[in-house]
Amino acid sequence: MKITHVEAIHLRLPEVREIPDGTQDCLLVAVHTDAGITGLGEVVSCSYVARAVVESPRSAPFRHGLAHIVRGMDPMDTEGIMAAMIAGTAWYGPGGVARHTMSGVDMALWDIQGKVAGQPVRRLLRPDAVDAVPCYASVLWPDRPQGVAASARQFVEAGYRAVKYGWGPMGPDLRLDEELVAAARDALGPRVTLMVDAGRCWDVHGALARVERFAPYDIFWLEEPLHPYDTRGYGELSAASSISIAAGESVTLLEEYEQLLQIGRIHVVQPDLGRVGGITPGQRIAAMAQRTGARPVPHAFGTGVLLAASAQWTAAAAAPLTEYTRAPSPLAQQLVRHSMRFAGGELVLDDTPGLGVELDPDVLERYRVA
Ligand SMILES: [Mg+2]
């Protein structure tokens, strides 16, 4: 089998709001083959730039996009294709948007391989992978603590067992931060797991002040309290914090994860499969995490393609848990038809081969950027 064409599928809402919500503008990748099988993947980056990384025609050695590099290669050879993409983008890689964009291709290759084998991706990763993955609802903080209760109650009624709030007004004011967390705990009740995503807004001192204030509210993890590359700061914080520290959605290269795990000593590592190069490098990060005792939980705040890849990947992990974005964007909620369903706080996976995703043609047409 050979790859005939790699297609960048860029989608954007007609009106993009000034909020930290990546589901307003998304990039999918379709890998087409001469066998008529197509795989889908997702890139979590700056979509316009990533699209150019897929499509750029060749002008000189190393000056070309991923479509040029992988055309004609065997889609079953994930390792060979990853090596070719890394070598072929050396002039503008290896990290950043070059690596983010490789994720879309790699994810699509796993989708193709599942379809060829007649197996869901999780079984290719691990024959005894689980069929239901606990997930947590993930949203931004409302603007004020008074707005938290209504949103939290909706999640409880819908059957979520874990909820994460993040970004928004959290950061500059210690008292407001505590009020937000207290409002969430109060509305969720004692039995629903609560995570807090700080949105990289503090230094070690500021983060430890929050750890102390948040301690009575039973926080499962505190996410990205520091700048993503403050590895030493993470080391200091992780050693002193009574709340588990989560990080890793922003970095991309394996050596950056090694640093975050070995020096940062974080408790939960959050690779985004749409940024780290896809499922193939994701497997390496999971193995690294095992060596330091960190729990891998994928960051997944995108369309249903990323959600499906993340669910399949974590279903093959030791302690499965995935992020389930409840962002209201139609790109997050309506673009992808899934073979999985949400029930009782879990994503229940079926045996559809590959990632089990299809794009809704109407939603695709409505939001596709020409
Ligand atoms: Mg986050």
Q: DSSP characters for 239-283? A: HH-SS-EEE-SS--SHHHHHHHHHTS--SEE---TTTSSSHHHHH
CATH 3.20.20.120 is the classification of domain 124-367: yes
pLDDT of residue 21: 87
Burial zone of 55 (CB within 10 Å; 0-12 exposed, 13-18 middle, 19+ buried):
middle
343 strand-pairing partners: 346
Query: Taking residues 228-235, what's their average pLDDT?
Result: 97
Residues 306-363 pLDDT 10s = 999 999 999 999 899 999 998 899 999 999 999 899 999 999 999 999 999 999 999 9
pLDDT of residue 165: 96
Cα 60 to averaged position of ligand 1 atoms, centre (Å): 38
Separation CA 346–CA 218 (nearest Å): 21
pLDDT of residue 349: 98
Separation CA 244–CA 109 (nearest Å): 34
Q: Sign of the CA dihedral 284, 285, 289, 292?
A: positive
Separation CA 309–CA 316 (nearest Å): 11
Separation CA 160–CA 91 (nearest Å): 45
Domain 3-118 carries which CATH code? 3.30.390.10
- Look at residue 269 and tell me whether its pLDDT is greater than 90: yes
- The answer to whether 236 and 266 have CB atoms below 8 angstroms apart is no
| The residue type at 34 | D
Cα 138 to averaged position of ligand 1 atoms, centre (Å): 9
C-alpha 314, offset from chain centre? 11
Separation CA 261–CA 234 (nearest Å): 9
Query: Taking residues 28-34, what's their average pLDDT?
Result: 98
Cα 164 to averaged position of ligand 1 atoms, centre (Å): 9
Cα 213 to averaged position of ligand 1 atoms, centre (Å): 20
| The residue type at 141 | W
Cα 349 to averaged position of ligand 1 atoms, centre (Å): 24
pLDDT of residue 86: 97
Cα 216 to averaged position of ligand 1 atoms, centre (Å): 22
- Look at residue 260 and tell me whether its pLDDT is greater than 90: yes
Cα→Cα distances 270→179, 228, 231, 265, 334, Å: 26, 12, 15, 13, 25
Cα 74 to averaged position of ligand 1 atoms, centre (Å): 35
pLDDT of residue 115: 98
- Buried-exposed string 175-190: b where 16+ CB fall within 10 A, e elsewhere: eebbbbbbbbbebbee
Cα 79 to averaged position of ligand 1 atoms, centre (Å): 29
- Look at residue 173 and tell me whether its pLDDT is greater than 90: yes
Identify which of 290, 229, 225, 227 has the alpha carbon closest to the alpha carbon of residue 263.
229
Cα 3 to averaged position of ligand 1 atoms, centre (Å): 34
Q: According to CATH, where is 3.20.20.120 located in the chain?
A: 124-367
pLDDT confidence bin for 61, thresholds 50/70/90? confident
222 strand-pairing partners: 196, 245
pLDDT of residue 156: 95
pLDDT of residue 220: 98
DSSP strand pairing (25-33 vs 3-12)? antiparallel
Query: Which token pair is 183?
Result: 């409002």
- Look at residue 264 and tell me whether its pLDDT is greater than 90: yes
Separation CA 90–CA 272 (nearest Å): 22
Cα 1 to averaged position of ligand 1 atoms, centre (Å): 38
Separation CA 172–CA 123 (nearest Å): 45
Cα→Cα distances 286→68, 246, 272, Å: 30, 14, 12
Cα 368 to averaged position of ligand 1 atoms, centre (Å): 26
- The answer to whether 267 and 241 have CB atoms below 8 angstroms apart is no
Cα 68 to averaged position of ligand 1 atoms, centre (Å): 33
Q: What percent of the chain has pLDDT over 70?
A: 100
Query: Which token pair is 206?
Result: 């500021």
Identify which of 297, 320, 305, 314 has the alpha carbon closest to the alpha carbon of residue 356.
305
Separation CA 65–CA 134 (nearest Å): 37
pLDDT confidence bin for 19, thresholds 50/70/90? confident
Cα 61 to averaged position of ligand 1 atoms, centre (Å): 37
Q: According to CATH, where is 3.30.390.10 located in the chain?
A: 3-118
Cα 325 to averaged position of ligand 1 atoms, centre (Å): 11
Query: Taking residues 259-270, what's their average pLDDT?
Result: 98
Cα 92 to averaged position of ligand 1 atoms, centre (Å): 27
Q: At what angle do helices 254-262 and 279-292 cross, to 10 degrees?
A: 20
pLDDT confidence bin for 20, thresholds 50/70/90? confident
Cα 115 to averaged position of ligand 1 atoms, centre (Å): 32
Cα 145 to averaged position of ligand 1 atoms, centre (Å): 19
Q: Show Cβ contacts of residue 50 under 8 Å, excluding neighbours closer than 6 positions.
A: 8, 27, 43, 97, 100, 101, 104
Separation CA 50–CA 363 (nearest Å): 21
Residues 123-160 pLDDT 10s = 999 999 999 999 999 999 999 999 999 999 999 999 99
Cα 37 to averaged position of ligand 1 atoms, centre (Å): 34
Which protein residues have their CB within 5 A of the ion that is ligand 1? Answer: 197, 223
Cα 168 to averaged position of ligand 1 atoms, centre (Å): 12
Query: Taking residues 4-9, what's their average pLDDT?
Result: 98
Residue that the structure tokens 């993040």 belong to: 166
Cα 72 to averaged position of ligand 1 atoms, centre (Å): 37
Query: Taking residues 17-21, what's their average pLDDT?
Result: 86
